[in-house]
Amino acid sequence: MTDTDVRLRDRLSREITGDVLFDSFSRGRYATDASFYQIMPAGVVVPRTTDEALRALAISRDAGRKVTPRGGGTSQCGQTINDGIVIDLSKHLNKVVSLDVENRTCVVEPGIVLDDLNRQLKKHGLWFPVDVSTASRATIGGMAGNNSCGGRSLRYGTMRDNTLSMDAALADGTLMHFGEVSRDPAASNSGDKATALFRDMLALGAREAAEVSDKFPKVQRRVGGYNLDALTPRNAPNNMAHLLVGSEGTLAFTTRVELKLWPVIRNKVLGVCHFGSFYEAMDSAQHLVKLKPIAVELVDRTMIALGRDIAMFRPVIEATVKGDPDALLIVEFAEEDQADNLQKLKQLSELMGDLGFSWNNGTRKWGGVVDVIEPAVQTAIADFRTSGLNVMMSMKQEGKPVSFVEDCAVPLPHLADYTNRLNNVFARHGTRGTMYAHASEGCLHVRPVLNLKLEKDVKAMRAIAEEAFALVREYKGSHSGEHGDGLVRSEFHESMFGERIIADFREVKERFDPGHVLNPGKIVDPPKMDDRSLFRYSPDYAVRELKTALDWSAWPGAGGGFQGAVEMCNNNGACRKLEGGVMCPSYRATRNEKDVTRGRANTLRLAISGQLGTDALSSDAMMDTLKLCVSCKACRHECPTGVDMAKMKIEVLAARQVRHGLSLRDRLVGFLPRYAPVFSRFAPLANLRNNSRILRALFEHVAGISAKRTLPAFRRDVFDPHDEVFGPANGHEVVLFADTFNRTYERENLDAALKVLVAGGYRVHIPKPTDGNRPLCCGRTFLSAGLVDHARAELDRLVATYAPFAARGVPIVGLEPSCLLTLRDELLSLRSDETAKTISAQALMFEEFLVREAAAGRLSLPLKPIAEKAIVHGHCHQKSFGAFKAVEQALRLIPDLKVETIESSCCGMAGAFGYGADTYDASIEMAELSLLPAVRRADAGTLVIADGTSCRHQIKDGTERAALHVACALAMSLDREAASS
């Protein structure tokens, strides 16, 4: 860091209360967006208020540094990266400033996330309809910067069409309101700076009106360059905010945005149109839009195939995709009256028939419509469609679909010819492309598969770009149809618009920002799009060979594939969602880029490639990066590219313990299965710490265990049955896995499970370890400390004991999700032999087993009512492995019990995480997001259900309510039956 930057950092730290980040790890996390570029900023500021944001702008300008405003950092074209100061507005500047329900308008801060805004508007029957696929993390400021469009722009228009006004500061700090202005000369004679600027812009618009009319593409999805057409007399009254929209932060620093709102969609239906020929699908789009749908979205063969390999999307594809289509067009109708929507679906099928399509035809005209009326299925399709980018990026290979000709837009009559010729361009350069998105607007997300680590592929990218943009110009389309210009397309503005318009763009930039302080290099005076020094994988990018502890062979690269697994993160930011699912619980609590899966993956990539210094992987800064990762595994399930940060954290912990050894806390956590049997014999002595304030404080000081927590109490009566077999001799066999936590601390759960299984007529095995030593363990605690070899040794013992049962198809059933599901996950990362695979395949959660048996007609339990209602919190690992629904289904076996799921992320305890003195506060923040408030709202008669040991302890600590394992609830129901008989 230069002396100038040191002084800049120090001044920012003195005058701003928000985060000021100049360390290499933090800067690295802001060096990328969702494009293939990487530019290391000088520093990052996360202001708490608008005044602080503007103060950061002024201080940075005074220091001669560029300033780039940033929201979610999901731009496809490199708009939000630069080598100056990045100002992150997403953490604090995310409020609704005002709402006018009657006039359907609102004013918001630029850092508010679209989904968050719409959640707040929904109760008023309103929404903001520029529904981009990144709605769960895209901020309104970023959407305004890019002139976002969304899937339903056919009805609602673009961001520009729905922006009424903006407040913003020029680079010199002048605050201005950008809205409608008059072209009346008499109204623009005052001498203030805003009036003079607006007068000059209107004059430019009048002067260049003919050129703008001639050179600007006549398609709705034109977001390239500056919106000079907003300045021409034809568009009077002129709205100056529309000049800022799409300007990518290069003209002014936005502080407020006034938005036009719409009534929420109340009824809708989907028609999934199938085509045996991609060309025919594209040619049909121009006809389908005549039915006035609100969207027509493309899903191509590649996306369908990739979706089938992703667990979260497989069910919806199986439910809605018929046969083997080359393409789908998802047609959405949303009329006020559902009867009208159903009529539209009928007309859609008729139109497909009129166009010559039938399920009985040959490939070229094979096709038809699958109607989707059920809202849940519609939501699942929408989730799949909006995840298109990440689905495409889930390819486990060096080459990935690359965004650079991604969102060109052409008039619909030319769409089929354009895509056909574009595929020929790809083929000439030795690649193929993926295509999806907005067929209704002639704007497809087109991505050729390239490996930008290779010079030959970079050259191919350049050639493809030049040829593709030439095609777009031929069809009088737009080379920027949705995602803006950034570093990718700005270079090509001259060939698209001509020299005169380019000179106009430069004139606008100079008039607003003569010092080129605000995000320079975008739209005006850009670098070459193929300048590899600006790439995420620059010419000198390399990952040294490293020894890894787990199996990463499904991916390419160093570390047995660890490199490829880390590089799967494309920075699209699905992990930044604030509601729905589980990922990423620590980010939801802190809103820090450091604490989101994307931030961690970026840091790992920079570390293993040597960009953060030597030994960065095992450094203290890396541990700080992973400190709040609770290993919930939600990213494993919810990240469409499959970034498994919990597994990656094990690698980091393993590398760190080799280099730095273990802390006392690591030893206490990791070796719990080894010392627990001994401590249980001396339970009163082992539990002294819980009852002494002095011992708690001492324990916190020497072991880092929070004095605010009560540790699970050891007990002498651990679960240790003398017999190994229970239940009728002719019953179906099952193995009950007695995990360390339930065996040691909560044996009543294992007793209950055993009672239920025996009552169901099962022959229950609880085999002793084959080596005759301590009880069996899954190795989970060792993995949490990076002690992979110890974990492998424990799993080897378990495999040896359970192998004979698994070999004959006996299910292995467990109660603790983190332990049982280790057999479905980490076991296969530590052992790849057939015996391990067989055991993994037989591993089932207790509820999964019961639900499966009930569905097969083999389960008969004499259950009686025990309560009117139960609220259920799902363990993160259950959700990650799709095992949570079985909890709800098992509870519904209890008569008259209403089951309600708490929409919660991680409970925050997460094994030993919540016990740490340094992580206690974050643990409570996570729990308070939804879980603890929901439990507190429940009346005394409502059962609280949580399968996870940690979850139950968090609920007890936070609410004084005792939560039950499902096994206990079912056993209570059995006891009620026994008592009544």
| Residue labelled with tokens 């609704």 | 96
Checking if the pLDDT of 153 tops 70, the result is yes
Checking if the pLDDT of 90 tops 80, the result is yes
Checking if the pLDDT of 443 tops 90, the result is no
Q: What's the pLDDT tens digit per position in 269-299?
A: 999 999 999 999 999 999 999 999 999 999 9
Classified as helix, coil or strand, 49 is coil
Checking if the pLDDT of 951 tops 80, the result is yes
**Closest by Cα among 929, 931, 930 to 953:** 931
Query: Following DSSP, what letter does each residue of 364-415 receive, concatenated?
Result: GGBEEEEEE--HHHHHHHHHHHHTHHHHHTT--SS-EE--SSTT-B--GGGH
CB distance 198 to 181 below 8 Å: yes
Tell me which amino acid residue 822 is: T
Section 211-226 average pLDDT: 91
Whole-number Å distance between alpha carbons of 794 and 804: 17
CB distance 229 to 216 below 8 Å: yes
Query: Following DSSP, what letter does each residue of 626-639 receive, concatenated?
Result: HTT-----HHHHH-
Section 376-401 average pLDDT: 80
Section 336-352 average pLDDT: 96
Whole-number Å distance between alpha carbons of 86 and 12: 13
Q: What's the pLDDT tens digit per position in 668-681?
A: 999 999 999 999 99
Query: Following DSSP, what letter does each residue of 52-67 receive, concatenated?
Result: HHHHHHHHHHHTT--E
Higher pLDDT, 191 or 37: 37
Query: Following DSSP, what letter does each residue of 526-542 receive, concatenated?
Result: ---TT-GGGBSS-TT--
Helices (H), 49-171: 50-62, 114-122, 140-146, 153-156
Q: What's the pLDDT tens digit per position in 291-319?
A: 999 999 999 898 898 888 877 788 899 99
Section 742-763 average pLDDT: 98
Checking if the pLDDT of 747 tops 60, the result is yes
Classified as helix, coil or strand, 581 is coil
3-state DSSP: the chain helix, strand, coil percent, rounded to 5?
Answer: 45, 15, 40
Cα distance from N-terminal residue to C-terminal residue, the chain: 79
Record the tokens describing residue 362, joined without a space: 């040959």
Q: What's the pLDDT tens digit per position in 664-716?
A: 999 999 999 999 999 999 999 999 999 999 999 999 999 999 999 999 999 99
pLDDT for the residue 465: 96
Q: How many CB atoms lie within 10 A of CB 502?
A: 18
CB distance 596 to 627 below 8 Å: no
pLDDT for the residue 191: 60
Classified as helix, coil or strand, 594 is helix
Whole-number Å distance between alpha carbons of 78 and 487: 5
* pLDDT band for position 399 (cuts 50, 70, 90): confident
pLDDT for the residue 642: 86
Checking if the pLDDT of 918 tops 70, the result is yes
Q: Which of 778-792, 834-848, 966-980 has the lowest mean pLDDT?
A: 966-980
Section 959-968 average pLDDT: 97
pLDDT for the residue 544: 93
Record the tokens describing residue 524, joined without a space: 């005006």
**Closest by Cα among 568, 538, 544 to 617:** 544
CB distance 662 to 789 below 8 Å: no
675, 681, 684, 685: CA torsion to nearest 10: -50
pLDDT for the residue 981: 58
Checking if the pLDDT of 188 tops 60, the result is no
Whole-number Å distance between alpha carbons of 227 and 245: 8
CA distances for 308 relative to 242, 553, 642, angstroms: 41, 21, 14
pLDDT for the residue 434: 81
CA 288, 291, 297, 299 torsion: positive or negative? negative
Helix axes 338-354, 278-288, angle to 10 degrees: 130
**Closest by Cα among 811, 802, 848, 801 to 731:** 811
Query: Following DSSP, what letter does each residue of 413-427 receive, concatenated?
Result: GGHHHHHHHHHHHHH
Q: How many CB atoms lie within 10 A of CB 917?
A: 17
Whole-number Å distance between alpha carbons of 175 and 578: 31
* pLDDT band for position 433 (cuts 50, 70, 90): confident
* pLDDT band for position 914 (cuts 50, 70, 90): very high
